[in-house]
Chains A and B, each alone.
Chain A
Amino acid sequence: MIEVTNLNVIFRNGGSAMHAVRGVSLDVAKGETFGIVGESGSGKSTILRAIAGLVASTSDAMVINGHEAGPKRNRDERRFMQCVFQDPYGSLHPRQTVDATLREPLIIHKIADKDAKIEKALSDVGLSPQHRFRYPHQLSGGQRQRVAIARALILSPPILLLDEPTSALDVSIQAEILNLLARLRKSYSLTSILVSHDLAVVAHLCSRIAVMQFGRLVELINAQDLRTGHVRETYTQELISASKGFTRNKKI
């Protein structure tokens, strides 16, 4: 579904250049949920943005659903993949109601039957019709993230790009959103890429996981390896042991 070979992203700023992604290759099969983990600044979100066409990148090949993707995504390609970002407060327009937020993609892509689509999208993400004419500030964090997911799904895209969709949420709300994503993935047979710094979240949703450090893909593992700790690289081991909590130094 998604095939990327030797992806490079360089941010130039005046005379200096920041090599954010260095020669990353990955392929995601249809219906798979692919995870990318790493610390801040490891380039994990940048890969996602490069695939979505939000940052300029160079690569030997970037094939999305059998078509070579150019430097810019055209309207059909954009309809094909939709993003959900980390911060539900930042990704919704504060002066637009939920209805307007969900209507916009339908207008852009000239899709008919808007009202029915909006109602369906709301019920898909577990919001009731009474939320339709509310503003983002009248919703809780979890509800806002549901609206962001509804906006991504309203175009029924086969590919969903998730950039830390639950890191701004409480554990209890996170559980609801993760369950929702798992359910939607099944009913819409979505292919998705999930970027997160939380190993447990990634292990919960994804089958294969790429570990990133300093813009390089350090290791490609599957969820089973992540649980059992059968990983090759010391960096991955460090990440796993660090996310299992604090270990106290033995008193000398």
Chain B
Amino acid sequence: MSDSLLEVQNLNVSFPGRGGITHAVRNASFELGRERLGIVGESGSGKSTMGRALLGLLPQTAIINAQKMNFSGVDLLNCTEAGWQSLRGRRMSMVMQDPKYSLNPVMTVGHQIGETCKLQLGSNAADAKRRSLAMLEAVKIRNPDRVFDLYPHQLSGGMGQRVMIAMMLVAEPDLLIADEPTSALDVTVQNEVLRILDDLVRDRGMGLIFISHNLTVVSSFCDRILVMYGGKIMEECKASELHNAKHPYTRALIAAAPSLDQLRAELATVKRDPEWLK
């Protein structure tokens, strides 16, 4: 795509532990323009860790090194805490998987979105309220005035996820990292949320990193896909070309999923090759 927003070269993330060092991400390199990049993999493949590393949200104990980690001109490797603070929210932000755990349960929806406006955009109370309501409307919440005064427990899963997206997008970041934003939702609601993300990405020219374990969703929603296994990027391909994927792991993942289109007597199981991680 046009200009490169994010450039990562040889990113390694490891966690020292009692049983030795766990390598969560190994030699990951990729580039992101203003496009939708999907990252797929099983649990423990390092996809969320990579997303968090990009935002500097990993715990202190994590060892991160890379040859290059650049976000529109800013070197993320030598970023100070103050530097991160100026990036997070305003320039890039992250939508988490579960709105139940990621929203503050004792703050109303309006208060939470307004807080972002006040902190990131220096809005006053009236301006924050105006922006919050406009944002709630943008994520297709039918009755923004009512939802503004609700607490997170009064929202359904789909609404909660929209509120999360509204909160992250109100500061208009250049990069949005969505970590399994639809995994906890029903299929019909999932598509509504995806549509909102899609419109916003297109209208505002954002870059989107979409982390998911669902191959069907990623292949139909994203432009490009990275397939991760054991912390390594196995394959990179165009989303529309996923069914022609070459790597045995990607092929095995596709074959393991039951499909609505064709009848499979027995599902293929994934045979893992230690060679892949070398």
Contact = CB atoms under 8 A, between A and B. Distances in A.
Contacts of A247: 191, 220
A204 B186 CA distance: 19
Contacts of A200: 257-260
Contact of B187 (A197, A227, A248): A197
Interface stretch (A8-16, A45-53, A144-152, A171-179): A171-179
A203 B219 contact: no
B244 interface: no
Interface in A216-252: 226-227, 238-240, 242-249
Q: Dominant SS at the A interface?
A: helix
A226 B258 CA distance: 13
A199 interface: yes
Nearest to B192: A242
A178 B198 CA distance: 33
B188 interface: yes
A197 B264 CA distance: 19
B155 interface: no
Interface residues of B, number: 36
Interface string B166-204: 000000000000000000001111110011001100000
A36 interface: no
A172 B157 contact: no
Given A170-B43, A201-B258, A243 B270 contact: no
A245 B219 contact: yes
B126 interface: no
Contacts of A244: 216, 220, 260
A39 interface: yes
B1 interface: no
Given A176-B269, A197-B186, A245-B219, A240 B42 contact: no
A127 interface: no
Given A171-B215, A226-B260, A246 B220 contact: yes
A198 B214 CA distance: 12
Nearest to A39: B186
A141 B28 CA distance: 27
Contacts of B259: 200
A40 interface: yes
Given A197-B186, A242-B188, A171 B257 contact: yes
Interface in B33-72: 42-43
Nearest to B258: A204
A182 interface: yes
Interface residues of A, number: 32
Contacts of B260: 199-200, 203, 226-227, 240, 243-244
A175 B253 CA distance: 10
B150 interface: no
B187 A242 contact: yes
B261 interface: yes
B217 A245 contact: yes
B266 interface: yes
B256 interface: yes
B267 interface: yes
B221 interface: yes
A155 B91 CA distance: 58
> Residue among B252, B258, B266 with the most chain A CB within 10 A?
B258
A170 B157 contact: no
A226 B262 CA distance: 11
Contacts of B253: 171-172
B267 to A, nearest CB: 4
Contacts of B220: 244-247
Interface of B: 42-43, 157, 186-191, 194-195, 198-199, 213, 215-217, 219-221, 252-253, 256-264, 266-270
Given A238-B188, A243-B187, 17 more contacts: A171-B253, A172-B42, A174-B257, A175-B256, A175-B257, A175-B258, A175-B269, A176-B269, A197-B187, A200-B259, A203-B258, A227-B261, A227-B263, A244-B220, A246-B221, A247-B191, A249-B199
25 contacts: A39-B189, A171-B256, A172-B252, A172-B270, A175-B258, A175-B267, A175-B268, A178-B258, A178-B267, A179-B267, A179-B269, A182-B266, A199-B187, A200-B258, A200-B260, A201-B258, A203-B260, A226-B260, A227-B260, A227-B263, A242-B188, A243-B216, A243-B260, A245-B216, A249-B199
